[in-house]
Amino acid sequence: MGYNIFSVTTVKDTYKKKLNAFLASLGPAIAKGTDITFADNDLTHTLELQHERLEARNLSVEYEYYSREDEPDKVFMTSSWRDAHYESVVCTKACGIRRSFSRDGKKLYSDNRKSIMYETLSDVVEGPHPGADSYCCPGCGHVSTIAELQNGCTFCGMQYKMSDLFPKVTGFYTLDDVGINDKEFKSTVWKFILGATVILWIAFFIARIVKNELTVGNIILGIIFGIFFGAVIGYFSYSIFLLVRLIFVGSRQSSGKWGTIGSRNKFEKAMKAVYPEFSFEFFTSKAISLIKNAIYSPDATKLLMYRGNPLDPSLGTVVDLNYGGALGVNAFKSENNMATVWTDAFFDVLYDKGEKISLKRQVFRAVFKRRIDIPMDTNFSITRIQCPSCGSSFDAIKDRKCPFCGNTYDLDFNDWVLVNLELK
């Protein structure tokens, strides 16, 4: 696997368009349930479950990701990697996130966070891009493009299990931005300068009045004094404010994460020894999606990719999850052609507590398993999902039990499966 940190390679225009389109559709997908653009199957399912959670809790939501760059379409590449199957890039852009949650007309929570968005876009190294190819639905015979069948046949409802159509956004998260751009600096520093100037004027003129020295000359001198020293003190105060903010936000974001340093390399080395195709980046994106899916699901035990016990009831009140940029690996075991990994995953979580919504930095203990005797198959495949008992077609991703006869549509461990999730 080739890995490049802080690459100077420019982002392809086609990638840039997809990343910006994804970002623009992300807020409406969460708040309104609209289609998400260029997201892989895992992300699409996650966002659908989150929107269903918001509706189930009767929440009215406004959610917007907006660009903070002077050039709204500007995207920076921070890293890239390539393995036997995928070529991926991690791109960033300065964005803001406006969130507002209300119930029955009462606002429960709102914020506007200055953030850095991290988006991962993956493409297959070799192989076809069959999204525009025609496919005849075996249920009704209607001919559609493969891309149109991702959410099932629009004519008969037949559901399909298919590989992702690349290139796709396979992961995203945001971190609070400890920096500030020129536009934000100019729009804020004047407030400190004006505040310092007004305070100096008030102090100067009160002193002159007390001493009975309020003459025209002193008034002019006071105005000049306030403007000059107000600019100096205001600029200095703003610099101190930015430094304190840098320390506070930086320490808050790194709190508890120091133990994850080095775990990535150890895990990747151990995993590659038994499964050469392993990619930590691919695993991280999969792990985040599995955790989110389990938490947002009304009943995680019904999910195709979850094999654990019922979750803590408090997780049923989670209305927003943002990965905190750290996934620590505590242990790894390989036996009987099965890999098991124990992890700590850091998230920023919004809990709906009825009368208010509160933000908490949460660590989840998550255990994942995967068979390592089955090579990864990146050849595109599309098959209809059909209950082996009654022949009905249904969305087995959301519920592995057939809604018509109750038979379980099972999945072998040929991909990562979440087998335990609990609060730390």
DSSP conformation letters of 217-282: HHHHHHHHHHHHHHHHHHHHHHHHHHHHHHHHHHHHHHTTTGGGTTHHHHHHHHHHHH-TT--HHH
| Cα torsion through 381, 382, 383, 384, rounded to 10 | 160
Tokens representing residue 146 in the block: 């493969």
Token pair recorded at residue 148: 């149109």
The pLDDT tens digits of the residues spanning 262-290 come to 777 888 888 888 888 788 888 888 899 99
Percent of the chain with pLDDT over 70: 76
55: tokens are 């509706």
Looking at domain 1-129+166-177, which CATH architecture does it have? Roll (3.10)
Give the model's confidence band at 40: pLDDT under 50 very low, under 70 low, under 90 confident, else very high. Answer: confident
Number of residues written out for the chain: 424
What average pLDDT score do residues 409-424 get?
Answer: 80
- Which pLDDT value is given to residue 395? 60
pLDDT in tens, 123-171: 877 666 666 667 778 777 778 776 666 667 778 877 766 556 678 888 8
| Exposure letters 266-280 (e unless 16+ CB within 10 A, then b) | ebbebbeeebebbbb
Span 316-344, average pLDDT: 92
**Token pair recorded at residue 364:** 């989840």
* Mean pLDDT, the chain, integer: 81
pLDDT at 256: 55
Between CA 278 and CA 418 the distance in angstroms is 17
Q: Residue 319: is its pLDDT beyond 90?
A: yes
Listed in sequence order, the residues at least 6 apart from 38 whose beta carbon sits closer than 8 Å to its beta carbon are 18, 19, 21, 22, 121, 167, 168, 169
Listed by start position, the domains of the chain span 1-129+166-177, 130-163, 182-253
In percent, the amount of the chain with pLDDT more than 90 equals 27
Q: What does the pLDDT look like over 206-259, one tens digit per residue?
A: 887 887 877 788 788 888 887 888 888 888 887 787 777 766 666 565 555 555
Least confidently predicted of 34-43, 88-97, 172-181: 172-181
pLDDT at 18 over 70: yes
Band the pLDDT of 204: cuts 50, 70, 90. Answer: confident
Read off the pLDDT of each residue in 52-77 and give the average, rounded to a whole number.
Answer: 87
Does residue 144 contact residue 131 with C-beta atoms inside 8 Å?
A: no
Specify the pTM. 0.75
Q: When comparing pLDDT for 11 and 64, which is higher?
A: 64
Per-residue model confidence (pLDDT) at position 3: 41
Whole-number pLDDT of residue 2:
41
Residue 259: the pLDDT is 55
Contact predicate 338/372, CB 8 Å: yes
Contact 168, 40 (CB under 8 A): yes
Rounded-to-10 torsion of CA 293, 295, 299, 302: 30
Mean pLDDT, residues 203-208? 82
Across 376-400, average pLDDT: 59
Q: Of the segments 132-136, 194-198, 277-281, 403-407, which one has the largest average pLDDT value?
A: 194-198
